[in-house]
């Protein structure tokens, strides 16, 4: 029980509760069911991408191209919907094409990192630039609105169960499936093993390159799902709409307790990190604080969280060193 109470996830829950109380005192609207559901819905795309990023960060990697890949898939799906018939099959085609494109782009990142041995930050930064450039070239920066989409997709995007939107459902499904993969599948255990100790994992026969390709391909798969969620949420396609989101994705994972250097991270923690970011932004809006201050506060929270995490990590390592010397 003491271990559970000291876990990072419980610490984040406490912070969320305290923050919620403070915001509610300032503006009681915060606790309304509509507002709480809007917070989750508005951050569902961020959450889907953050769940995928968790696996990459656990293995010691990073992917700054996730927003660019998601934006590119959004554009492709938007143009695809223009020619698709107005039937339920069109939505099924989107759920087939979107993830496939995402997997292809994510796998390319994975192959370059695993086989060519290029650092992940270099590969994904290059992919970010290439994809953004190509998207702007082919779209000319043109915005697509809902008049271009079939009615069946508009019906899909407005689907709800007990007030929970389809976008939120996608986030919940992705989080649960990824948690299951990490906990109960062989590849998931290999991801965690590499995160725990890469050298030991390789010595017992785990193929590090295969795991790297998997986590980047899975990130691409979720980018495809996120593109569908983003299009359903905004009911539009904006070639520039995802710019900069990759930083928020990484921030959510780090706030959720993952070590940016690799080795530690949980899906539950990431979900809490997403909710924390969403609550902070929503609280600042309800407090009628200017947009630029929202970014400042978010940045400060990220810096404090990462600094605290590194201090705790160094303290734990120092204790281990003392024990080894005494032994």
pLDDT digits (tens, 9 = 90+) for 60-97: 999 999 999 999 999 999 999 988 888 888 899 999 99
Q: How far apart are CA 128 and CA 62, in angstroms?
A: 13
- Answer yes or no: is pLDDT of 287 > 90: no
Determine, yes or no, domain membership for 323. no
Confidence of residue 152 (pLDDT cuts 50, 70, 90): very high
Q: How far apart are CA 207 and CA 239, in angstroms?
A: 37
Determine, yes or no, domain membership for 277. no
- Answer yes or no: is pLDDT of 293 > 70: yes
Q: How far apart are CA 303 and CA 254, in angstroms?
A: 10
Task: Tell me what pLDDT residue 3 has.
Answer: 46
Determine, yes or no, domain membership for 318. no
Query: For the segment 18-27, what is each residue's pLDDT rounded down to a tens digit?
Result: 999 999 999 9
- Continuous segment of H or E residues that includes residue 264: none
Q: What are the backbone angles phi and psi of residue 161, rounded to the nearest 5°?
A: -130, 115
How many independent structural domains does the chain possess? Answer: 1
Determine, yes or no, domain membership for 165. yes
Confidence of residue 99 (pLDDT cuts 50, 70, 90): very high
Determine, yes or no, domain membership for 200. yes
- How would DSSP label each residue in 106-117? HHHHHHHHHTS-
Answer yes or no: are the C-beta atoms of 75 and 237 closer than 8 Å.
yes
Determine, yes or no, domain membership for 90. yes
The whole-number average pLDDT for the span 296-304 is 76
- Continuous segment of H or E residues that includes residue 162: none
Task: Tell me what pLDDT residue 197 has.
Answer: 78
Mean pLDDT of the chain: 88
Query: For the segment 194-248, what is each residue's pLDDT rounded down to a tens digit?
Result: 887 778 888 888 899 999 999 999 999 999 999 999 999 999 999 888 888 998 9
Of the ranges 54-58, 102-106, 203-207, 317-321, which one carries the lowest mean pLDDT score? Answer: 317-321
Q: How far apart are CA 50 and CA 56, in angstroms?
A: 10
Determine, yes or no, domain membership for 24. no
Query: For the segment 2-39, what is each residue's pLDDT rounded down to a tens digit?
Result: 444 456 788 889 989 999 999 999 999 999 999 999 99
Determine, yes or no, domain membership for 98. yes
Residues 6 or more apart from 284 whose CB is under 8 A from it? 293, 294, 297
Between 261 and 225, residue with greater pLDDT: 225
Query: For the segment 169-181, what is each residue's pLDDT rounded down to a tens digit?
Result: 999 999 999 999 9
Domain that holds residue 209: 39-267
- Answer yes or no: is pLDDT of 1 > 50: no
- Answer yes or no: is pLDDT of 140 > 70: yes
The whole-number average pLDDT for the span 275-300 is 83
Task: Tell me what pLDDT residue 131 has.
Answer: 95
Task: Tell me what pLDDT residue 4 has.
Answer: 44
Neighbouring CB atoms inside 10 A of 147's CB total 8
């Amino acid at each position: 029980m003491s271990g559970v109470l000291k876990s990072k996830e419980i610490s984040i829950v406490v912070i969320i509760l305290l923050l919620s109380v403070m915001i509610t005192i300032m503006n009681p609207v915060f606790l309304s069911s509509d507002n709480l559901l809007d917070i989750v819905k508005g951050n569902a795309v961020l959450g889907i991408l953050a769940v995928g990023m968790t696996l990459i960060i656990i293995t010691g990697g990073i992917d700054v191209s996730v927003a660019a890949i998601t934006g590119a898939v959004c554009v492709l799906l938007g143009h695809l919907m223009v020619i698709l018939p107005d039937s339920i099959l069109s939505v099924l085609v989107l759920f087939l094409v979107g993830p496939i494109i995402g997997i292809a782009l994510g796998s390319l990142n994975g192959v370059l990192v695993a086989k060519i041995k290029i650092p992940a930050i270099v590969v994904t930064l290059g992919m970010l630039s290439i994809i953004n450039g190509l998207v702007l070239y082919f779209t000319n920066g043109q915005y697509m609105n809902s008049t271009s989409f079939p009615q069946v997709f508009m019906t899909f995007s407005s689907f709800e169960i007990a007030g929970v939107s389809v976008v939120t459902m996608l986030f919940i499904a992705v989080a649960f499936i990824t948690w299951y993969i990490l906990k109960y599948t062989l590849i998931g255990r290999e991801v965690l093993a590499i995160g725990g100790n890469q050298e030991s994992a390789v010595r017992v026969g785990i193929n590090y390159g295969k795991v790297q390709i998997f986590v980047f391909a899975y990130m691409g798969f979720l980018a495809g799902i996120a593109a569908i969620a983003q299009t359903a949420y905004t009911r539009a396609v904006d070639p520039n709409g995802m710019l900069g989101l990759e930083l928020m994705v990484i921030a959510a994972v780090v706030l959720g307790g993952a070590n940016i250097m690799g080795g530690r991270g949980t899906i539950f923690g990431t979900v809490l990190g997403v909710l924390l970011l969403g609550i902070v932004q929503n609280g600042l809006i309800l407090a009628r604080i200017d947009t630029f201050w929202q970014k400042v506060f978010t940045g400060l929270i990220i810096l404090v969280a990462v600094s605290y995490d590194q201090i705790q990590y160094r303290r734990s390592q120092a204790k281990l060193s003392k024990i080894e010397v005494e032994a």
